[in-house]
Amino acid sequence: MKNYFEFLKKEAGPLSKSMIFMTIAAGITNGLAVATAIHIAGKLQPGSLHFQEFFLFISLMALFWYCKRYSINESTRLVENIVRIIRLRILGKLNNTDLLGLESIDKGIFFSALATDTATISLSTTVAINAISSGVMLSFLIIYIAVMSVEAVLITVGIVSFIVILYLKNEKQISGLLQKSAASENIFMDNLNGLLYGFKDLKLNRRKYQDFSQEELNTTIDASTDLRVDAGLKLNITILLSQSFLLFSISGILFLLPQIDQNQITLIPKLIALIIFTSDPVGNLATAIPAVSRAEAAINNIRKLENLIDQGQNQQEQISGEQPIKELSWSRICLENIFFQFPLKANGRPFHIGPMQLEFHRGEITFIVGGNGSGKSTFLKALTSLYPLDSGRILLDDIEITPFNKASYRNLFSTIFSDYYLFGRLIGIDAPDNEKIDTLLAQMELTHKTSIEDGVITNRDLSTGQKKRLSLIISVLEDKPVMIFDEWAADQDPVFRKFFYEVLLPELKAKGKTIIAVTHDDKYFHAADRIYKMEYGRCTPYELAA
């Protein structure tokens, strides 16, 4: 539990003194109420009334209720604020992480850490705080037993010590199994992501689906299940020990105490009553053990995610994120001997693009052509400064792009990458022109498929081509000076493909937009002012055949 409470202290700061006081007070008042009840039971006589004792007992009950309610309410607020802090901190760190750093992290750990693990921590805290209060009550009852009989308390403490030793023996194994289970859960989440996004490909090929299901899903689920079962079996031993505590203690008082001191036989009914009352706090402590063990495994998984993000932290991104967005004046984008290479991995030679020297002129349409795997999408990410260059420079006219103006440079671009994501609302667009939206929806033949109301897209359940047309509408509404389209026309029918090249692109060019489009449509190469061809990571001017 030490790791767990150190985590709470680190994330929430010093625990509230009032919460600590109320937690302890709840345990003490609960213990006093039990002691009062047993004391009254020993004085009861037929026809007798004990108004003072009754008033004391009711007062202790009310005080316990107030203290316990305050304690668990504050603990709920505490842990939910911790979850909020963790989520905001992790997501905030992404602001200082470039795209390359994010892509190096398996997405499964994001889902498990920010959803499952934070929920586990949230659920565990009330249980843990309740266990603290129960621990105080248990201590009070043990002291009360000691006042009544030193021998009885020695028997009780001996049994508790025996249970604690067995718990400690299991605890290390439980922690290791839960951490392995968390790692297996990360893999499952990542594979589940693959199933959902690759479902259409898997559905087309039964063997492929079966192979994926067996290796990526079933095997991972089985491994996670085995680890959880092993951890659960260990935890069950702890739970059984706690639940057997009552029987062990009663048998000790009932059979051992008379052998030690026969004069204490008359105390046995009261002692057994006290021990029965201790079963509840012992049970609460036993319940807290697996909850906190799972929370500690969740904490380790969250820390693992943060460490992965920290490794991808980029000082240049931090500097860039701190700079204000400024309007840049320019006539051309110049790529001067740029070179980018993916990080070196043990299993092969990393792909790279460059070195290359290119220019993009304002108000021109440029096409990027080339085969699959030639580096077109990677080039676009380097061009937009999403990927950090290993060497070379990007210049706007004669001004070099540095961390101090990178954010403003990125702000020039509106992009539709091949792996684009369609958000549920218009993000970063202030007061969109409804008349313009209606016109664009009509042009794209989406009027009867979806709409945009108060900046919210009413329906995203569209075909791939329709989604791309809707994303193009959003790109136009963003009204950026440079528009990038990565294979936009690939999912369009011939009518919209022709509309894109012969109507939309000229209209955008007439408005002064700079268009950079990846395409395979050689039928429409005449629409471009210049064409570059990508081959093996190199980009060179492409000459149209005569």
Give me the pLDDT at residue 48, please. 61
Class of domain 327-541: alpha beta
Is the predicted pLDDT of residue 202 greater than 80, yes or no?
A: no
Span 127-132, average pLDDT: 83
Give me the pLDDT at residue 487, please. 92
Give me the pLDDT at residue 166, please. 72
Class of domain 2-314: mainly alpha
CA dihedral defined by 489, 491, 493, 496, rounded to 10 degrees?
Answer: -40
Q: Which of 519, 515, 529 has its CA nearest to residue 492?
A: 519
Largest CA distance in the chain: 118
What is the band of 204 on the pLDDT scale with cuts at 50, 70, 90? low
Is the predicted pLDDT of residue 400 greater than 60, yes or no?
A: yes
Helix then strand then coil, in percent of the chain rounded to 5, is 65, 10, 20
Residue 217 is which amino acid? L
Burial class for 148, CB neighbours closer than 10 Å (0-12, 13-18, 19+): middle
Chain mean pLDDT for the chain:
85
β-bridge partners, 515: 365, 483
Give me the pLDDT at residue 179, please. 76
Question: What secondary structure letter does DSSP report for 356?
Answer: E
The region that residue 487 occupies, defined by phi over 0 for left and psi between -120 and 50 for alpha, beta otherwise, is left
Give me the pLDDT at residue 100, please. 86
pLDDT > 70 fraction of the chain, expressed in percent and rounded: 93
Q: State pLDDT tens for residues 425-484.
A: 888 888 888 899 999 999 999 999 999 998 889 999 899 899 999 999 999 999 999 999
Q: How far is CA 38 from CA 151, 253, 271, 280, in A?
A: 19, 17, 9, 16
What is the band of 46 on the pLDDT scale with cuts at 50, 70, 90? low
Q: What is the pTM of this model?
A: 0.74
Highest mean pLDDT: which range of 107-111, 179-183, 271-275: 107-111
What is the band of 116 on the pLDDT scale with cuts at 50, 70, 90? confident
CA separation for the pair 471, 427 (Å, rounded): 12
Domain boundaries, the chain: 2-314, 327-541
